[in-house]
Structure 1
Amino acid sequence: MSSSFRSSAPRPYQSYVYAYPHKTAYRPFPEGGRPALSERWAGERKDALSLYLHIPFCEVRCGFCNLFTRIGAPDELTTRYLDALDRQGTAVRDALGDDEPVRFAAAAFGGGTPTFLTAGELDRLCDIAEKRMGADLRAVPLSVETSPATATADRLTVLVERGATRLSIGVQSFVDEEARAAVRPQRRADVESALARIRDARTPVLNIDLIYGIAGQTERTWRLSLDAALAWQPEELYLYPLYVRPLTGLGRAGETADRAWDAQRLRLYREGRDHLLSHGYEQVSMRMFRRSDAPPQGPDDYACQTDGMIGLGCGARSYTSTLHYSFDYAVDMREIRGIIDTYTATEDFSRAEVGREVDEDEARRRHLLQSLLRAEGMEVAGYRERFGRHPVEDFPSELDHFGSLGWLDESAGPDRLRLSADGLAYSDALGPELFSPAVRADMAAYELK
């Protein structure tokens, strides 16, 4: 079950493992063999599902972004997209059946930028979640992503009235020059105004995203952004290392990673981590920090990929215990536009189109990976209860390697696997080491588009 390692001392920033297997390991199902959702959800637990609605529109596309999103929405495209989302929601709810209660424990609207939609369209989006899927948005944690330009008072009012408990805003930097360097045109004054509107809306949780590793960024300017964010006393902060990926704006500019940039990002990460810890925040994962008195908000990092995930929209993923599925994936804007157009014209959403079967070995890897990348680590008993074995039996070479690098916390005791401070810092190297050979091969063979 173990896999061979590509290097004895991995570089710290290889891949942000926000889902496993990654979409580049997905493949189209054959036309005659597309899995019927009603069959694949039969027998699955449905009492604590997660619901994710994906809106693939932004007002601009940042230079580092490789998310499934397009700029703008001409010719009533948002209306057509919501129509398709409605059809998909109806089909998926039918596939879940009524043999047992269907209950959603958490919901999220992401993208793209969900608040690209107008206030009226956001109201309709909530209706799709509630009236089509049966989610009670006012009774469960509801997280919504927004941006400085689209966090307007009318949109925020709709979201709060419909039950939003968490608003996450991508600021990235409070330094205007750094924002421009990341191809994210915004002014600090506009960011501060948006944050004021979010605070006025009185959602329980404000999350601010910041990025480190931007060209020209120094410890002084990084601290400036951190302190500017802390001035708003956000309940959560996410600190993301900058990545330059193929087909993105920065990727086309020819920027590449090197050892000096690795060292800079690692240095800024530690600076940011220590600064937030000293200001009353707790580390949840490499990226996520929560204020110690913040209210709980349901699933955290990596928990979104547990079994029982329903994703609606052409960029969303869904997970059963044995199948991960979505729609086609692309980064290039022209390809994305084509996928969105195909999605909006789709009438039959009863079968999975693109995805990957998940066998027992992959399920073990996912469980270990998504648990180990959290600061609290993984209880060995939970793994043993699910799989009947100790994780060391399944991943002896991987865990031995992590230990030799000082990535495991030896003080955690025999009943818990937990990363050390260095292990958390190297999460983006550790995660890929747990990819199976088959997933790694399919990711490598994927043709970027």
Structure 2
Amino acid sequence: MATSLSLPLVPRRPDIPETPYKQYVYAYPHQKAYRYLENGPLLGDLWKDERLDALSLYVHIPFCEMRCGFCNLFTRTGAPEEVTGAFLGALERQARVTREALEVKGDPVRFRMAAFGGGTPTYLTAGELTRLCDLCEEVMGADLRAVPWSVETSPATATADRLAVLAERGATRLSIGVQSFVDAEARAAVRPQRRAEVEAALARLREAGFPVLNIDLIYGIDGQTERSFEVSLDAALAWEPEEIYLYPLYVRPLTGLSSRHDRDGRRWDEQRLRLYRHGRDHLLSHGYEQTSMRVFRRRGAGQAGADGPRDESIAEYNQQAGMVGLGVGARSFTTGLHYTTDYAVAIPEVRRIIDDYLATPDEEFRRARWAFRMDEDERRRMLVLQLLLEVEGLPAGLYRRRFGSSPLEDFPGEFGALADRGWLEPGAGEGGEAVLRLTPEGLAWADAIGPLFFSPRVKEAMAAYRDR
């Protein structure tokens, strides 16, 4: 399909950032582009024209036992049981209102996948996790035992009683944030844990028998070298996890590391790139395959989504819409609107937003308040970002079926910039369909490539956002 020679000529191609670590694009657009809607639309109106047999359910639990030095997620530490209990009460009220909205047009509602994220969902007690699963099944109608279902956990909260609840209810994937098996590196990342505690948690996870175990590791920590990073890699490999995620360390405003991290930017970038390549090559040599910059899967191992939908129309819909989010900080995606609650990083603001959520009346749950309106241009960008940053790449036929055009025609400057750097290579996917793929070095720069495709509207909204 495409080479750099076939790209239309443009007066000026966008500049690729000098740093490979501009921004992790896990969803588009970022919540910093969302704005408050004074008279937000009713959820029933938002969902009445959506496909309801291909939904995914996401529940955000905004609690952790500690806050890592690099964390800029929406989460509160040390919440007492009266707060977590009140949160589950508010969550149930929100779920009932949301389910009513989904049922407005009378079509069957079916969830094809589910995830509990945060925060740390296993901060909840075993009894609270049972209540949460009951809520998802009985109120939302999600059959947790029949769908791929992922849960995030931590070494301190992966206790036997909590894991027993999740295993009995059918969780198919547990992801544990280890970050480093080297105690000194964990301390440097302001993550007070010991390797013995991590190993004990991993033993409990394996004993519980979840089909997919994922271990998160971080590179770029102060003092980390290829040798020390390999200690963590080998410690993770010893558990034969189905997945290993390698994350570059980011230091963001209002996080624990932001006031103490004064590394030279160029040298830090060199360290992170060096460690990334070392980690990538080490995992590839040990029977893992890379699916994105961050994700490595053991060859031949099962995947949490292996029994998920194979219908292409369902897959294409899930790439554009169909996410139903519950809980403060959770996002929901419809074709025309992405919406959520208020968002913050600073501890006082997070607590205020959680308190506001607990006090939200049912009528307020019926409307989308913090939102971003999607148009055809934004949907094009979202699909490019979802697929181009994966190893398998962006199939031109899928894009054309969805939008009636070519990605090269729609984004000549962006793809031209990638071709200029040698980071873009055309290839063939299943059935010989043309695919645009990043080269291995392009994948290494994925966090700089993603922001190239942000629209001017999103960039302006993010730039105007005040960190808090």
TM interval, shorter chain, is over 0.9
Q: Any stretches of 5+ residues in structure 2 without a counterpart?
A: 1-9, 309-315
- Aligned match of 1:23 in 28, 31, 46? 31
| Paired AA for residue 56 in structure 1 | P
SS in 1 for 2:144: coil
After TM superposition, give the deviation of residue 282 of structure 1 in Å. Answer: 1.0
Shift of 1:255: 3.4
Output aligned runs, 1:324-343, within 5 Å. Answer: 324-343=338-357
Closer, same or farther: CA 442–334 of 1 in aligned 2, 3 Å = same
State which drifts further: 59-68 or 405-414: 405-414
Distance (Å, rounded) in 2 between the aligned partners of 1:3 and 1:366: 25
1:420 paired to 2:426 = no
Q: Secondary structure at the match of 1:249?
A: coil
> Using a 3 Å threshold, how does the CA distance of structure 1 residues 303 and 444 change in structure 2: closer, same or farther?
farther
One-letter amino acid of the structure 1 residue matched with residue 344 of structure 2: A
CA RMSD of aligned residues (A): 1.8
Using the alignment, how far apart are the partners of 2:301 and 2:318 within structure 1? Answer: 20
Aligned residues: 445
Once the two structures are superposed, residues 162-188 of structure 1 have per-residue CA deviations (whole angstroms, 9 ceiling, x without a partner) of 010110000000000000000000000
- Aligned partners of 1:180 and 1:186 also within 8 Å: yes
Equivalent of residue 465 in structure 2, options 442, 446, 449: 446
Quote the residue 1:58 is aligned against. Answer: 64
Distance 1:304 1:19, change over 3 A: farther
Out of 369, 391, 405, which is 1:353 matched to? 369
Aligned partners of 1:144 and 1:167 also within 8 Å: yes
Secondary structure of the equivalent of 1:418?
strand
CA distance in 2, matches of 1:196, 1:370: 34
CA contact (8 A) 2:212 2:303 kept: no
Cα shift at 1:411:
4.4
Rate the CA distance shift 1:305–1:351 in 2: closer, same or farther, 3 A: farther
Residues 35-54 of structure 1 mapped to structure 2, 5 A cutoff: 35-54=41-60
1:6 CA displacement: 5.7
Matches of 1:293 and 1:122 in 2, distance apart? 31
Deviation at 1:341, TM superposition (A): 0.3
Q: Is the CA contact 1:247–1:331 (under 8 Å) kept in the aligned structure 2?
A: yes
Gaps of 5+ in 1: none
The whole-number CA distance in structure 1 between the counterparts of 2:11 and 2:208 is 49
Q: 1 CA distance for matches of 2:395 and 2:276?
A: 27
Tell me the alpha carbon deviations over residues 263-316 of structure 1, each in whole angstroms, 9 at most, x when there is no partner: 11011111111111111111111001111111132299x998641001100011
For 1:385 and 1:397, locate their aligned partners in 2 and report how far apart those are by CA, in whole Å: 22
* Matched-pair contact (CA < 8 Å) for 1:5–1:433: no
- d(CA) in 2 for partners of 1:41, 1:157: 35
Matching residue of 2:82:
76
C-alpha displacement at 1:3, in angstroms?
11
The answer as to 2:320 corresponding to 1:314 is: no
- The answer to whether residue 159 in structure 2 is matched with residue 149 in structure 1 is no
Q: Which amino acid aligns with 1:291?
A: R
Is the contact between residue 63 and residue 123 of structure 2 (CA under 8 Å) also seen in structure 1?
Answer: yes
Distance 1:34 1:11 in 2: 38
Is the Cα–Cα contact under 8 Å of residues 245 and 294 in structure 2 kept in the other structure? yes
Distance (whole Å) between structure 1 residues aligned to residue 413 and residue 73 of structure 2: 33
Measured in 1, the distance between the counterparts of 2:266 and 2:85 equals 47
Q: TM-score, normalised by structure 2?
A: 0.92
Q: Name the aligned partner's letter for residue 417 of structure 1.
A: L
Identity of aligned residues (%): 64
Equivalent of residue 393 in structure 2, options 377, 386, 401: 377
| 1:223 correspondence with 2:239 | no
Structure-1 separation of matches of 2:28 and 2:177: 24
Which of the numbers 95, 100, 109 marks the counterpart of 1:89? 95
Is 1:270 matched with 2:277?
Answer: yes
Partner amino acid for 2:441? D
CA distance in structure 1 between the aligned counterparts of 2:434 and 2:318, rounded to whole angstroms: 24
Counterpart CA distance in 2 for 1:23 and 1:5 is 27
SS at match of 1:54: strand
Letter of the 1:158 partner, please give it.
Answer: V
Moved over 4 A (4+): 2-6, 302-305, 411-414
TM-score (norm 1): 0.96
Is the Cα–Cα contact under 8 Å of residues 407 and 422 in structure 1 kept in the other structure? yes
- Alignment match, 1:435: 454
Paired letter, 1:140: V
